[in-house]
Structure 1
């Protein structure tokens, strides 16, 4: 999987495609002027990395006329449950103390959002984040409080450290050296954005964070505006890679605001990466990737180093799309 190579240079098989075209025409307010958006035929979903099972599950929900919110939750849950994906959910690589801790957030068409950080022993962090959004007056719960809430909501408690990840952690402890290296999967994310049959947008982002991170470290993934942002009048964006740098530029919010000002998703993603590079002298030592979609269903992606791609499932088909990069080789 290309996603697993990201940090060195850093579906729905049987489902029928949605028949018939529908138009989701929209107007955006852009600096006092009205801009007529293009039309979008049918629902669509995009996700960071080549995760065909996740996008297939999300599109299955959309194809059944489900909401974008349901689609992104069900989609990223696929990766959370995949023990072979060691950067998300069960089987994720632990922190330096040997604990697997999860971060996730979710955001809907009405700008409602929920997040959990440093959550232990619960597989589906994204679903707990949704419960925070729907069942509490808060946006974010952390640590033991997040776990207590999850158990109260009926989520099962489970040890997330698989034997494979445990053995790798024990090997790492021999040197205890932490140097994030581009194209080695020690920090990563799945971020997903969807547009449903009503033309509404939602997004979700989930991760187990940096491998062997300091206990308590939180990246961009559960931070609304950094790892994920959705504005139903404009579009959505999500990020992957070195989260600290995305937080510093409030990257996903920036990209959505650039789209509001009239930039295409591709132009906005490129500017988002350039903002990070401008503030990061040693940008060649890190990898950042953004994806975005606007209300018209146009998509974009950009990253620092080659190797990042995103999955797209729409009425036009199911494809993995390599992202353009600032550094060409």
Structure 2
């Protein structure tokens, strides 16, 4: 079979060469007289072109066909019997087909997870990411699964996904993913009150981001470190870390990060008792969030402003700010934040009523 294909390939290669040569040449009157068959080629350029293209196509098909290794080979058993045995090349082709099918299924689950993630169906998203992982473990699915579990406060599953992803990232030598996984693990530890472990993860993430030149990751890591320091009561260290983060955010034009960092700086100032400085930071954060159209950040800033007003004894201003935040939280469906705002409104309202009775 292969011999016949080789002969056929050579034949059509010769035909293509001759037809192409005749197509590209022009002949004189003398040559036409000397070689009568050339006169028959006059006006046949379209036919020659078709013959050339067709011959080349046949050669291509033949070459492809003859290069496909056989799926079976004849083998002889110990008793002299002959049978067809599968070849390694046939096995390789099956692996390629199976891998293509596996990748397609894994991608379908990943795409389904992405569709659930966007509207905030995080549990459904996490489960679909996990199905993608079960078929074909990828760093992307591990990272997004961890984020999804984290968003619904399922810290054990979030940590499990992040750690598995971290192991895979280190195995592949992908430092960008490694830094992201370390940051996620730090957030999980942070929310569980494991502050020293959280700080270590964030610092490792920061080191990687600086090494690979990832300023956005560096700013995020510095911000997370600042939050941990604040939770530990190390307010000066927290302020320094947040200010470094703010400098990077402004340098790279990360407005969302800038607004968040200004809010974090306001928290540090508030804990230091510097209420006017805190109020200024919150107002700057609010202005940016409104400018970029970030309602969640806008409402958070309004809440923080209300807390400062409450501490200053400006209860009417505090109530008004909290009510504005509540309306935004209600509009965007931020249930947890809405509950916090309503508790704050209730507390401030009670204080106002108490002061009016005096």
What is the TM-score with the length of structure 2 in the denominator? 0.22
Relative contact order, higher structure (CA 8 A, sep 6+): 1
Structure showing the higher strand proportion among its residues:
1
Bigger-Rg structure (1/2): 2
Per residue, is there more helix in 1 or in 2?
2
